[in-house]
Amino acid sequence: AQSVTQPDIHITVSEGASLELRCNYSYGATPYLFWYVQSPGQGLQLLLKYFSGDTLVQGIKGFEAEFKRSQSSFNLRKPSVHWSDAAEYFCAVDSSGGSYIPTFGRGTSLIVHP
């Protein structure tokens, strides 16, 4: 069965610092991979997704993620964090053959210090 691991429950960074959120997945073939953000009182919003091709994926709000098959990872990065980026971030994997039944990680809470 597919699974997603987000090893960091909380991450604290200073505003303006770079950010990397880790995500590891377990699946035999190349899955579809996603990152979502959930801000307080708001719905989940898709940041970016990877299906195939270029392993470096650009998303909204200045985020990017890199798929590394050898490490079964899909880490999310941002070069300079803004206070408004404080939120919960979820990595998800879909290996259901495109019917999009994703399996989500437990999330990483990002705290941004001024």
Partner 1 sequence: GAGVSQTPSNKVTEKGKYVELRCDPISGHTALYWYRQSLGQGPEFLIYFQGTGAADDSGLPNDRFFAVRPEGSVSTLKIQRTERGDSAVYLCASSLLAGASDTQYFGPGTRLTVL
Q: Which residues of this chain interact with partner 1, rule CB under 8 A?
A: 4, 32, 41-46, 49, 51, 90, 92, 94, 98-107
Contacts of 5 (CB under 8 A, 6+ apart): 23, 24, 25, 26, 105
- Toward partner 1, which CB reaches closer, 46 or 56? 46
- Token pair, residue 88, equals 């919960």
Judged by beta carbon, residue 15 or residue 38, the one nearer partner 1 is 38
Q: Look up residue 23 and give its DSSP letter.
A: -
Please list the residues that pair with 93 across neighbouring strands.
33, 103
CB closer to partner 1, 41 vs 114: 41
Minimum gap (Å) between residue 70 Cβ and partner 1: 23
Length of the chain: 114
For the CB of residue 16, give the shortest distance to partner 1 in the complex, in Å.
Answer: 28
